[in-house]
Each structure stands twice: as structure tokens, then as C-alpha cells.
Structure 1
Amino acid sequence: MAYTISSTEIQKTTRALQPARPTPWAWLMLPGSIFLAVLFVVPLGWLLLLSFGAPDWTIAHFVRIAQNPAYIGVLRTTLQISCVVTALTFVLSYPIAYALTTGGTKLRTFLLIAVVLPFFTSVLARTFAWVVLLGRNGVINEILLQLGWVSQPVALLYNRIGVIAGMTHVVMPLMILPMLTVMSSIDQRLLRAARANGASPLAAFLTVFLPLSLPGLIAGILLVFINCLGFYITPALLGGVSDVTITMEISAQVVGQLNWNFGAALSTVLLVAVMAVLWLGSRFFPIEQLLGFSDDKIGLDKTARRQMGTQWLMRIGSAANALDRWLPSMGGRGIPIFASFLAVLLLLPVVIVAYLSFSASSYFVFPVPGYSLQNYERYFSDPLWLRATVTSIRIALMATTMATMLGAMLAFGLSRGRIRGRGAMIALVLSPIIMPTVVVAVATYFVLVQVGLQGTEFGLALGHAVHAIPYVVVIVVANLRDLNPTYERAARSLGAGPLATFRTIIAPLVMPALIVAAFLAFLISFDDVVYVLFLGIGRIATLPMRMWEGITQDINPTIAAVATLQMVFATIVIFVNTLLGRRKAQS
């Protein structure tokens, strides 16, 4: 007789196997968990209290949102844009992820560069690229006019078209990377077996590859949709008066009108929406597994549900055999060619900005009339730009120090420690990069006001550290998972104690990951705009803030030079990561 293990029995067994007391490694999670509790959980709790008008409890703010057609329209606009961008991102991202999995070495290298470089490039720099591309006198309109396809510039900026284009470009790496994580683990022999049994390429894809890639697809859609709900920079710079999103309304209430309670209520609505999406997505796939974590408490019932959910795909395999002969195969090169074309589109905005940064003109014109370094000379000779750069570096160094130290300890504790409630700890660590940045920044602002740290560089660095810690944890956990345990056992067998083993074996092997994590934490802080808008409250002028003001007030080619320098720094981060990865592989 078959015996089915229920999820309740699995959880009971897991709880029984867990130690009653934390192991020594688990204590390393204490500093980071306290830090996140004070600067992430407490601010969100404070935000919730403010939304209900504490200490004078009321639901009037939520009633106002529900009864005012303007706010209902803002919510509808946010959902419409998020759904369209998510759908478009999926259509454009899946071929790239598939080609990254099945293509040759040269193709994979090119596609990976096209995905990773924009991912590490500042969102502000990428959005600025679309301002240059879509403007009335922008690159696209100039090309259309020169080709004679239009008689006058087309309105591509400050409307829904610009918002969707810019947001899709920004979030595509967030869709591709989770799908790639899952697709890379699919055994290609299964596809060859399907082909050997008479399935056409399309039928083999639909009945084998697509069902197995659904977990990554679901996770990618989840991440993209949540990010779209909380997007602020791109809609604010590319959208028009009819494209106001909830994040823009939150900014207007908190920063513009100082209406904290109503801004908190709007933030709570957005937070509840994100939590609902996360709960719905967790029914299909646990996102923490894609970020380097695994949990033995994942029930067999979830696996069964996912398998049942893909059965409908298996039923169309026979129809796919008939359909396949009508589709142009291009000699089997259709997907690689299409993926390469999409990769070029991913790189195009950042390449165009770099190209225009060397223009000899004092304003944007395409093609450039001549080449010059005058935009870079203006940047390096302007004390306002240099002062803002130094400020950004100073804040980023503080944030990087805190995030790297606390994140590394959290990573060791999560990887090697055993403690009750480990799942809750993982959720706490990952939440800052899943929750909308605007909501977290607003909540942090309300708490920093209570201790007088609003508008200070240290207060801003605290906010940046909260946002950077999850990235540090994910990178270090991935490295610790790949460590060969025989090295440690060999050191122990030779008489080395725990501290000596850590100092001579573990620390040198983890150091490359720590360096990459520190670089990424620095980059996250250095490129931030949202936290500066809410926590800086006009007192702190960072480099991205100077760019923000320049884009919103007076666009000039100097901004292109600054954006290019940011992209160069991102390229250095990628190069260092690749170099350290090769050294690790050789060692």
C-alpha cells in the first residue's frame, strides 16, 4: 500500500529534528537580525500605526482612498502598467534565457554580458538613456525623420509608451536571471530523449523544457510584477500627467505636502498588495530557493500541485508536432538570432548614452557633430559635481562596511547554524529587496525622525545598508554552499582548532565572495536615488541626486558623461567578479 506523507507530518518531523537551542554558528545571526528588526521591521510597524492615525485611531485615510476616484485611478494605472510591463518582459526575456541555456559558448558570453551589464548599471542611468532615446529631439525621432518615415517628431516621451519601454528595459534582467537559474538545472538529455522518440523540436520544448522551467518563470514574473508595483524613478521621469503611479502619489504626500498619515496609508495599501502577490506566488514556488536558500520543510504537496499545474502542457505535444512544420526554423538558428537581437536592444540604451557623452556639441544631437572630452572636463572641473561624488563615496563606504559585516555573519549563521524559525529568518533577510523601496524608505524616514537622524549621511547609510544586506547574504551563502568540506576535515584531522580552521581555510576561500559582495553593496548605495529623496530631505546632495535634478530640470550632455562613468564602474564590478571566480575555479 502506498503511503503519502502530508506536509503537516513533514513539518512535525522537521521541528523534532531541529535543536532546542541555537548552535554556535547560529549566534552570528543575532547582530544582523537586530539591525534588520530595528531598521526594517520596526519602521514598517510604525508605518502601519501612522496609517491608522495613531494615537488617534481612525480608518478615515483608507476610506478617503476608497472613495476618491483620483486615488482609485492611480491604483488602476499602477496595476495596468505593472501587468503590461510584466507580460512584455516575459515575452522578451524567455528567448534570451532559453538561448543562454542551450546556446554555444560565444552566444552565451554575449547574452550574459547583455543581461548583467544593464543589471549592474544604475536604474537612473538607464532611465536617463531612455530620455535621450525617446525625446522630441531624441535618437529615435532623429532616425525616423532622417529615414523619412515621419514628417514631425513623434510623442514617445512623457506618456505611457515611454514608461512601459523604460520599465521593461530595467526589469528584464530580473526576469531572465531567475529563469536562467532554473533552466540551467534542466537535464538536456531529456530533450534528446524526446526527440529520439519522435517528438519535433517544438513538441519536445512544450512537453519537456517548458514545464520544467515553470518554477523559474513563476519566480521571474513574481519579482518583476512586485518591482513594477513599487517603481518610482522610471515612471516619474518618463511618464506624463495621466501616468501617475501609487509611488509617485506617496512621494507627493510625504515629501511635497508633508501629509505623513495619508502617505503612510497609501504606503500600507501598496505593502498589502505586495504581500498578497507574494503569498499567491509562494503557493507555486518558494522564491528563497532561487536566491540560494533551500529548506527541508518544503512540503510534498507543493511539488504535487506544481506537477498537476503543468499537465495541460503535456497534452499539447501531439498538436505541436503538426504545428512545428509550419514554423520557420531558420536552420535551427531562429531562437539564437532572435535572442541576440533582443540582447542588442538591451545594450543599445547604455551604448547610446556612452556615445553621446563624447559629443563635441553643447546639447544632445544625433549623430554627434564631432568628438570631444568636454563633458568629462565639465564634470571634473565642477565643484558641485565633485562634492556630490565625494558625498556619495563617503555614504557608500559607511553602508558597505555595515552591510558586508552584518551580511557575512548572517550568511554564516544561515548556512551553518541551526535554529528554530529559520524560515522566518530567511524571510526577514530577503524582505528588503522584495518590498517596494519607496515604502521601506518612507517607513525608515518616520523612524529616523524620532531619533534626529533624518537628513544625515549616517542615517542615509543605515537605509542603504538595510537594502544591501540581502545581496551580501545571497552571494556569501552561494559561496559557502559550494565550499568543499574535505578541506575543513583535513585541517581538523591535522590538529587545527575551529578558529585556526576558520582563519586558514574558510576565510581565504570566502574572501573572493566577500569582495564581490562589498563591491555590489557599494554600487547599490552609490547609485541610490529613492532613499536620498526621502531620507536626505533636500539636505544631502549625492551624485545620483545631482543627476536626478539635472534630468528633471535641465538635461545636458554632462549627465551623459556621469552616467557613462557609472556604467564603467559597473563594468569593473563585473570584471572583478569574473576574475575572482576564475581564480576560485583554479584553486
Structure 2
Amino acid sequence: MIARHAEPGRRAAWHGFPVWLGLLPFALVLAILFAVPVFSLLRLAFGEGGFTLAHFQRMVDVPVYRSVLGTTLGIAALVTLLAVLASYPLAYVMATVGPRMRSLLLLLVLLPFWTSALVRTTAWIILLQSNGVVNKLLMGSGLTSSPIAFIYNLSGVLIGMTHVLMPFIVLPLYAAFRNLELSTVQAAESLGAGPLTIFARIILPLTAPGVVAGSMIVFMNAIGFYLTPALMGGPGQTMIAQMIASNINTDLNWPFAAALATVLLVATISMLVLFQRFFGLERLIESGGGKAGEPFTVTSRGRSPGGWATVAAAGLVAAFLIAPIIIVFPMSLGSSPFLSFPPESYSLTWYANFFSTSKWVAALTRSLQIAGVVVVSSVVLGTLAALGVSRMRPRWRAAVETIFILPMIVPVIILAVGLYYLLAPTGLVGSIWGVALGHVVLATPYVFITVRAALKSFDGNLELAALGLGASWPTMFRRVMLPGIAPGIAAGAIFAFITSFDDVVIALFLTNIRSRTLPKLMYEGVAHEIDPTIIAASCLIILVTILVLGANLLVSKRT
């Protein structure tokens, strides 16, 4: 009887907002700007004149390509392992401290998560170089007598990639800790279990699903990484994304690059299928709800010696996360053309150079223009898509959600090369519009996810009540639904802005010297020689990120 009474209201809601109207715009964008370029590129891998597997056979026969594939998988696995090991103590402490300290630690995790990956990579290069802060501290303390080579080798790649990807494990692991019940731990203690036994028999099994889910996301991202290995690694750390770019930019061998892209895509999609099979994309769309019992925290016994050691380890991990962001500010205020910490004297020389040099100002202006177009476009497309999916029948919903988030799963190098292949004949390569189209494809899934999460917490009865009182669907949306999901839309807009403003890979392929964005200009400078102006630019990007996040917090509080 309840279902029969609810069905007319549901049909009224569908009639007020047709499912196809929500799904069609983003579906067309994905078909034209994602599926067509990606499949056009992949088609080259199997031969232009006729079907062949020669390019794949070449990967097997030539040792250097086998080595690159092995290096890619090995680095991705090591980064995932390091991220898990570093995340456990931090997530544990976040779950067991007071609200104020928890908020501070959460900020230390989220600020790097929101900050440009290029900025963080640049900061690590400065920290780890021969005359950098880390080597100065080691030599000053007497631990080493000469500088250690931390960058342009495997250690540099592991440090940089772990720093970029670790929040993807910290956040779901923290949620898993918060979902533990204190009574479970107390019961184990009352039965005589020690800290190690409790961790091995209770905490580890119950938090394992969150760790595995985060690890799969990290591994999926890591196998397609381009930026950090290109800037912090050496020839021995060449990964498959770099090999794809090299075959296009240097060798002009599009078919072989397409074959490499096919292998990378198959590996990524396989991981996505496993993730969907065992966890489901709901983990990306909705946060886990807390249990009915008292949340996990320190019991009446207090922290054990191992617990205090974990707190110390968490402090080191937190310092690892925030150090690259903090260290660039004083260095950007140095007056010397050589980077040093602490600076011998302070000035605003490099900020003045940034705003007085036409190439920097033009690149910044161009990045802001593109980001503005991307935010507006992706908010409209993502919100419509979320509304459409929320009104779909459950049978097809999971499949459509998977398709809509593919651009944030598929390695960006594949999309960049595919768009370059598609747009080159149109004249859009070298214009801001070509870059904007690529960024819209990248950014819209983030808006879709955040708005979907907001819609899940929105009370559908409010919609039905407004429609039942005679309001049209547009009026209901403007007066009832929009205020309720505004925080999700605002969060999605911020994701879209940062995704566009941070992008390097799309810009590398779709811009030229006259249309390059700020991240591309910084990348070119870091790849050759670090001009202190780049550090000033990095600080400005961090400040912009903080301002955008602050604005989002104000909007969220007011709503």
C-alpha cells in the first residue's frame, strides 16, 4: 500500500524533470570529447590499414618496454604500500583526539589534497635537492657528511607520489576508524587482549575494507602518473605515461603510443571493475554513516606505549604532508636568485617579477579565464547529470554512474593525447577553448559526485510536497531543492576550479607558447631550471586555493 501511494508522487517528480534532460547533455559531452578521442586513439594501436598486433608484440620483444611496464607496476605498488603504512597512524590519531585537534589534523590532510600537485612536486624538489633543506638538516646534525641524492631517482618519485596520493587512503581509513564501536575494543580489553592483539584481531580486519578501497584508488591513479615521475625521477623511473608522451612528442610514433595507451587503459579499467565489484562506486558518492554505538576512541586505560609511538609517527606523517606547502612561503620572500632556506634577506622581488613579467601575467589570466569557463560549464552539466541519475531506476543507475566518472579514473595522459589527435585538424589546439573542453571533461565528474551526495541527503518529500501544492518543477527547484543541495554544488565548483587551474597534462598537449597556462609555464621552468619566480607563483596558487576553500566554508555555514 505504501508503494502504491508513493508511486504517483514519484511519477509526478519524473514528469517535472525528465531523466533524459539530466543525462543527455553530459552524455553528449562524454561521447564527443571523451569516447570519440579515446577510441580513435586506441584504434591506431591495431593498425590503420588492417588489423595487426605488431605494436603489442613490440612491447613484449623489446626489453626497454618490458622494463617500463614493470617499473610502472612496481612504483605504483610501492607508492600504495607506503601510503597505507603512513596513513594508519595518522588516521588512528585523527579518530582518537579531541574535536579541535581532529579538525587541525583534518586540515593538514585536506590542504595538501586541495593544493596543486605541481606546486607540491616543485616544493619537494626544492626541499630534497643537494643544497635543499633536508640535506642541510642531515649534514648540520652530523647524520651525513655529504648531500644525499633524494631526487631524480626512485626515492624522489616515491616521496612525491606518496605525498600526492596519500590523502586518498587517509580519508577512507579515518572514516573506517570512526565507524568502529568503542564497546568492541572495551570488550576485548575486558577479556585480557593487549594492544597488539586488539589491533591485529579487531582494528585491522574492521578497517581493511576502507584501506583496500583507498589502495585501489591510489593504484589506479599511480599507474597513470606523469607529472611527478617526469620531474622527480630519472631514466630508470620512466613510467608508461612518460613513454606515451615521448612516442608522440619525440618519435611521432602514434600507433605505438596508442598501443601503450591501450595497455594502460585496460589495466585501469580492470582495477575499476574490481573496485565496483567488491566495493561499489557508492564509496565515492556517499560517506559511510556512523554506527549506533559510541565511536572509537581511547579507552579508559589510556594510550599504551605503542599508542604513544603511533602518535609520534602520526606527527611525522602530518609534518610530511604539510612541510612542502609551508616551506615555499619563506623561500619565495628571499632576495637571492639562488634558492635557500632560510633566506639570507627578505623582499618581494620575485612577486614583483611575477606581476611585472608579461608571460607570467598572461599565463595567470589565461588560467583564470579557462577555469571560469570550466566551472560554469561543469556545474551545469554535473548538476543536471546528478538530477537525472537520481531519478533513474536502480537497475541502470550503477552503470550510468560508472560511465559518468570514467574521466576521473582513466589516466589523463590518454585523454590528453586523444583530444590532441581529435582537435588538431579543427584548429582548436593552441587556443584556450581546446583546453577548456578538455578540462570540462575532467572536472564535471567531480561536480556530479558532490551533487549526487547532496541529493542523497535531500529529503524527497519536500520536493513532492512543493509539487503537490501547485509549484512548477523549476519553482520547486529554485525555492526548495537548490538551497538544500547548494553546499554540494559549491564543493563541486571548487573541485572543478582546482581541477582546471591545476592541470598540466592537458595543457602540455593542447596549448602552445602563446596560449600556455600558468601550470604549464611553471612545469617548463621546473623541468629546466627553477627560477625563484616559480616559487612565488606556487605561493600565489596556494593562496588562491585557501581563499576558494574559505569561501566554500562561508557558503556552507550560511546555508
What TM-score comes out, normalization by structure 2 length? Answer: 0.90
Q: C-alpha deviations, 1:76-134, integer Å up to 9, x for none?
A: 11111111111111100122222223322122112111110001111100000111011
Answer with 529-538 or 215-224: which moved more. Answer: 529-538
| Cα distance in 2 between the residues matched to 1:452 and 1:59 | 32
Q: CA separation in 2, counterparts of 1:442 and 1:537? A: 15
Opposite residue 108 of structure 1, the aligned amino acid is R
Match of 2:427 in 1: 452
Alignment partners' CA distance in 2, 1:263 and 1:285: 32
Does the C-alpha gap of structure 1 residues 148 and 207 become closer, same or farther in structure 2, counting only changes over 3 Å? closer
- Note the alpha carbon deviations across 1:377-426, whole angstroms, 9 max, x for none: 11111111001111111111122221111001011112233375222211
- The corresponding residue for 1:426 is 401
What amino acid is aligned across from residue 153 of structure 2 in structure 1?
N
Inter-partner Cα distance in structure 2 for 1:441 and 1:169: 24
Give the one of 367, 391, 413 matched to 1:392: 367
Matches within 5 A, 1:64-213: 64-213=58-207
Tell me how far 1:37 sits from its aligned partner. Answer: 1.9
SS at match of 2:278: coil
- Cα pair distance change 1:247/1:381, threshold 3 Å: same
Q: 1:178 to 1:43 in 2, by over 3 A?
A: farther
Matched, 1:475 2:447: no
| Structure 1 counterpart of 2:245, one-letter code | S
Q: Structure 1-normalised TM-score?
A: 0.86
Alignment deviations for residues 458-507 of structure 1 (CA, whole Å, 9 cap, x no partner): 11111111110111011111112222345435534544343322121111
- Superposed counterparts of 1:401-420, under 5 Å: 401-418=376-393
Cα deviation digits, residues 341-398 of structure 1 (max 9, x gap): 2111110111111221111222101221122111111111111100111111111112
Mapped to 1, the partners of 2:440 and 2:66 lie a distance apart of 34
The structural deviation recorded for 1:165 is 0.9
Tell me which amino acid in the other structure corresponds to 1:237.
L
Alpha-carbon distance in 1 for matches of 2:262, 2:406 = 15
- Secondary structure in structure 1 of the residue aligned to 2:130: coil
What amino acid sits opposite 1:465 in the alignment? V
Conserved 8 A contact 2:330-2:342: no
Quote the sequence identity (%).
41
The 1-side partners of 2:312 and 2:99 are apart by 15
1:163/1:239 contact within 8 Å kept: yes
2:410 to 429, 435, 438: 435
Q: 1:36 aligns with which of 17, 26, 30?
A: 30
Aligned counterparts of 2:198 and 2:556: Cα–Cα separation in 1: 34
Of 285, 293, 297, the match for 1:292: 285
Question: Could you tell me which residue of structure 2 aligns to residue 47 of structure 1?
Answer: 41
Cα pair 2:195 2:304 within 8 Å, conserved? no
Contact persistence 1:516–1:573 (CA under 8 A): no
Counterpart for residue 291 of structure 2: none
Does the CA contact (< 8 Å) of 1:215 and 1:284 recur in 2? no
Deviation at 1:331, TM superposition (A): 8.4
Partners of 1:475 and 1:361 in 2: how far apart?
44
Counterparts of residues 249-288 of structure 1 (less than 5 Å): 249-286=243-280, 288=281
Partner residue of 1:329 out of 286, 296, 304: 304
Contact 2:494 2:549 in 1 (8 A): no
- Give the AA of the match of 2:23: M
Q: Is the 8 A contact 1:111 1:340 kept in 2?
A: no
| 1:26-54 C-alpha deviation (Å, 9 max, x unpaired) | 22111111111221122221122111122
Unaligned runs of 5+ in 1: 1-17, 295-324
Q: Which residue of 2 aligns with 1:15?
A: none
Taking structure 1 as reference, are residues 382 and 261 closer, same or farther at Cα in structure 2, changes over 3 Å only? same
188-197 vs 221-230, which moves further: 188-197
- 1: distance between equivalents of 2:143 and 2:177? 41
Aligned residues of 1:532 and 1:540 also touching (Cα < 8 A): no
What is the total number of aligned residue pairs between the two structures?
533
Which structure 2 residues correspond to residues 518-533 of structure 1 after superposition, within 5 A? 518-533=493-508
Q: Distance in 2 between matches of 1:440 and 1:187?
A: 43
Instruction: Report the counterpart of residue 321 of structure 1 in structure 2.
Output: none
Question: Letter of the aligned partner of 2:198 in structure 1?
Answer: A
Change (3 A) 1:399 1:55: farther
Q: 1:579 to 1:340 in 2, by over 3 A?
A: farther
Deviation at 1:457, TM superposition (A): 1.3
Identify which of 224, 227, 230 aligns with 1:233. 227
Q: In the TM superposition, what is the alpha-carbon distance from 1:200 to its structure 2 partner?
A: 3.3
Identify which range, 488-497 or 451-460, moves more after superposition.
Answer: 488-497
User: Is the 1:255–1:534 contact (alpha carbons within 8 Å) kept by the matching residues of 2?
Assistant: no
The CA RMSD over aligned residues, in Å, is 2.4
Structure 2 unaligned segments of length 5 or more: list them: 1-9, 288-300
Mean Cα deviation higher: 414-423 or 248-257: 414-423
Asked if structure 2 preserves the Cα contact closer than 8 Å seen for 1:181 and 1:290, the reply is: no
Q: Give CA deviations for 1:165-224 in whole Å, capped at 9, x if unaligned.
A: 111111111221232344433333333343344433443333333222222111111011
**Equivalence for 1:503:** 478
Is the partner of 1:394 in helix, strand or coil?
helix
- Maintained 8 Å contact 2:335/2:345: yes
Shift of 1:268: 0.7
Separation of aligned partners in 1, 2:524 and 2:85: 34
Partner of 1:555: 530
1:224 aligns with 2:218: yes
Q: Report the 3-state secondary structure (helix = DSSP H, G, I; strand = E; otherwise coil) of the residue aligned with 1:362.
A: coil
